[in-house]
Each structure stands twice: as C-alpha cells, then as structure tokens.
Amino acid sequence: MAVESTGPETLAHLLARRIVMDGPISVGTFMAEALGHPRFGYYMRRDPFGSGGDFTTAPEISQMFGELVGLWCVDTWARLGGPGPFHLVELGPGRGTLMADLLRAAAVLPLFRDNVTVHLVETSPSLRERQRQTLHPVLGDAVHWHDRLEDVPEGPTILIANEFFDALPIRQVQKTNHGWFERLVDVEPDSTEEAPRFRFVLEAFGSSGNRLVPDALRDAPDGSVVEVSPASQAVARLIGGRLAAAPGAALVIDYGHTHGPAVGDTLQAMCRHAYAPVLEAPGEADLTAHVDFTAIATAAREGGAQSFAPVEQGEWLSRLGIRQRAAALTAKASREQARDIRGALDRLIDPAQMGRLFKLVALATPGAFADAPPAGF
Ligand SMILES: C[S@@+](CC[C@H](N)C(=O)[O-])C[C@H]1O[C@@H](n2cnc3c(N)ncnc32)[C@H](O)[C@@H]1O
C-alpha cells in the first residue's frame, strides 16, 4: 500500500498509515486506539449504551443492580469501622447510572453520604458530560473526574468497577511449531489507502510472545492463542497498593473466567447489539475481551491487598437480596412494570444470561475483614 500525504479521515486511515510507516502494531495497541484514541476512539464520541446503542450493562438493565452495589458499599464502609471521610471511586462510570442508584440506596446510612467524596475515573469527554447530567441532581458539583486512578487523592477508599476491565487492552500470543509469537495487526496487502482493511499476522522473531506467555501455558498445543492484559494487571496492582496504604475495599464486576491462565481468543466487537468482525471498523464498534479474574486478584495481592474468591453475579445478587428487592418494587408496580422487573431480574441472575458469565471479585485492606468476608463473598 502506497503512502500519500492526504490527512486521515477515520481511525482506520490513521492506523493504516502508521502501520505502513512503522510496521504492524500489537492487538493491545489496536484495542487501545480503537477505544481510546482522543479524536476517533469508540468511547470518546458517543453514548454506546442501551437499546439505541451497541450494548446494555447491568446498571442500565435495572436500578436494582446499583442499589445492591450501594448497600454493599454501605456495609463495607461500616465494617471498615466507618473511617470518617473516604473516597468513593468508580472506574469507567458509563452514564453515571450505577453511581446514582448506589448513592440513592446509600441514603439508608446518612453518615455514609456525609463522609463520601465521589471520584470518577473516566477518559471520555462525552461520557463525563453524561455523568455530570446524571449526577448533578444527586451531588451538585461535588464530583471529581480523573483520567487515571493514579490521580485520585490518597486515603480510605471504596472502589467499584463494572465492565471497566473488559475494555482495557489485551495482548495475544499464539503457539506455533517454532514457539510463542505475539499476534499483531497489519494492513491487508491488497487493500487500498482509501479503504484500508486489517489482518492478523505473527511477529517475526517470537521475542514478545515468549516473554508474555504465562509459564503454566508454555506447553499448550500448536495453534493455541493466549491473552494477557498487562494494562489490567497494572490497574489491579495500583488498587492493591491503595488498599494496602489506607483502609478500603474494591468490588470488580465483569464478564470473564476464574480458572487461571487459559487458552482462547475472546476478543470481540459489538455493534448495535450484534457481534462484528474485530478488525473491521476501529473506533466504530465496542471491543472487549474476557477478564481473567485470577490475574486481577494476583496483581492486586502483589500490590498489597487481600482478595476474596470470585462469586458469580447471579449468586452474589441473590445473596444480597435481589429477589426481595424485586418483590418490593413489584408490590408498587403496574402490570407492565412488574413484567419489566421480572425480565430484568432474570437477565441479571439467570445462569443462561448474565448470572454465570459475569462475576465479582472483592479486594480489601489485609485483615480488614478478618471476622467474615465482604457481603456476598
Ligand atoms: C463498558 S463501559 C461500562 C460503563 C459502566 N460501568 C456501566 O456499567 O454501565 C466502560 C467505561 O469505561 C470507560 N473507559 C474505558 N477505558 C477507559 C480507561 N482506560 N480509563 C478510564 N475509563 C475508561 C468508558 O468510557 C466507559 O465509561
């Protein structure tokens, strides 16, 4: 493909030009640019949630989800000894719906609301604006936004992250009969500069592949693909460090697996509630990958936190009383609303829907939950 001097019109043009000049990029770089490029990144320019968007998250399905997370935060804060002023941090808050529902439920303990400072870690300017609109009636201007967790002030912390880690870049490595090679993204040689297309290739020498593959999977069969997310591990290590330095706990909710390092290509693109080819239109579709909860917990422990065994979302919500909450809402609902509540309950807890695929892991200051694990774990 020849390089011309016309300016890029889409992220695909920009990435293709970069690849032609500098060589293939890692899957992680492709994903990071597709989601977070300041001008063309998927999250930078749109509100992707709900029936008119590309996907629906648990807080957008029902208020019950955020309310139960709110009760977990209140209980956790009380169990931490109610350490006075504290930071309530949310990573990747979407429309701000989870935080709004959480804070409404947290009104059961006025002291919680009196002591809380809310920090939202969000890179998208358009979603920040959406969060401001959602939270202004609840918090006024008392919300702090940050680009990175590192920027949140130190101190006692309760942190939540729903469907944040699945949006962090992964890298992929593949086993060949010559060893492990990193998978890269290259430009299709027969595509044009006006309409670039992309394809997967393997790195030339296997230097990154051999470094990235976890020891436990080194002997996997030829053709196996393994995913690692150094970006996720770095954030988890940072959370661990925060929880080691001051009292606190974190709740990570996402879709993924708990069986440790595994083979499998889970990178997927969603557009208008349907799967799309992952390399087809960078910046136009949501890109996610299964979260490796074992890797998150391990990194958080390396950072200094304690971790609690992951629980499936259906089980966790049931333990926190979602059926009782659904019954209370239904008692005051019209017939149509009651049907919606039933549908939302099923979607959140049914093992065939979100109940099994989605999981939660709790992280905490070592020893802070010596008597019993955090609620639902
Ligand atoms: C799938 S959405 C989840 C939204 C919300 N938690 C929910 O459950 O509805 C991912 C969120 O993370 C944000 N995000 C993605 N990558 C990020 C990054 N590297 N740093 C901060 N926020 C990020 C997105 O803008 C979006 O708000």
CA of 24 to the centre of ligand 1 (A): 27
Residue 4 — pLDDT band, cuts 50, 70, 90?
very low
Question: pLDDT tens, 237-277?
Answer: 999 999 999 999 999 999 999 998 899 999 999 999 999 99
CATH entry, 58-169+229-364, from 3.30.565.10, 3.30.465.10, 3.40.50.12710, 3.20.20.70: 3.40.50.12710
pTM for the model stands at 0.96
Inter-residue contact 208 to 182 (CB < 8 Å): yes
CA of 136 to the centre of ligand 1 (A): 19
Residue 2 — pLDDT band, cuts 50, 70, 90?
very low
Q: Is the CB of 43 under 6 A from ligand 1?
A: yes
Residue bearing tokens 């809402």: 329
* For residue 121, pLDDT beyond 80: yes
- Exposed e or buried b for every residue in 48-85, given b needs 16+ CB within 10 A? bbeeebbbebbbbbbbbbbbbbbbbbbbbbebbeebee
CA of 165 to the centre of ligand 1 (A): 8
Give the pLDDT score at 83: 76
Q: Give CB contacts under 8 A, 24+ apart, made by 2-7.
A: 2/193, 3/193, 4/193
How many angstroms from the chain centroid is the CA of residue 195?
31
Question: pLDDT tens, 20-31?
Answer: 999 999 999 999
For the residues 161-170, what does the mean pLDDT come to? Answer: 98
Give the pLDDT score at 141: 84
Instruction: Give the three-state DSSP class for 279.
Output: coil
Question: pLDDT tens, 196-227?
Answer: 999 999 999 988 999 999 999 999 999 999 99
* For residue 57, pLDDT beyond 70: yes
User: What CA–CA distance (Å, rounded) separates 31 from 343?
Assistant: 33
* For residue 3, pLDDT beyond 60: no
CA angle 284, 256, 307 (to 5 degrees): 125
Inter-residue contact 64 to 72 (CB < 8 Å): no
| Range list of β-strands (E), 194-339 | 198-202, 225-228, 248-257, 268-271, 274-276, 286-288, 291-292, 306-312
Ligand 1 pocket check: which of 88, 123, 271 to mutate, most ligand atoms within 8 Å of Cβ?
123
Question: pLDDT tens, 65-104?
Answer: 999 999 999 999 999 988 789 999 999 999 999 999 999 9
Nearest C-alpha to atom 27 of ligand 1 is from which residue? 94
Domain ranges (residues) in the chain: 11-40+171-227, 58-169+229-364
CA of 91 to the centre of ligand 1 (A): 7
Give the pLDDT score at 53: 87
In percent, the amount of the chain with pLDDT more than 70 equals 98
Q: Is the CB of 122 under 6 A from ligand 1?
A: yes
Going by C-alpha positions, the residue among 234, 305, 225, 231 that lies closest to residue 267 is 225
Q: Is the CB of 60 under 6 A from ligand 1?
A: yes
Q: Which residue has the higher pLDDT, 138 or 279?
A: 279
CA of 154 to the centre of ligand 1 (A): 22
* For residue 5, pLDDT beyond 80: no
Give the pLDDT score at 8: 57
Give the pLDDT score at 35: 97
* For residue 37, pLDDT beyond 60: yes
Q: Is the dihedral of CA 37, 38, 40, 41 positive or negative?
A: positive
User: What CA–CA distance (Å, rounded) separates 37 from 2?
Assistant: 24
CA of 162 to the centre of ligand 1 (A): 8
Give the pLDDT score at 1: 52
Residue 112 — pLDDT band, cuts 50, 70, 90?
very high
Give the pLDDT score at 46: 84
Ligand 1 pocket check: which of 160, 164, 254, 290 to mutate, most ligand atoms within 8 Å of Cβ?
164
User: What CA–CA distance (Å, rounded) separates 121 from 290?
Assistant: 21
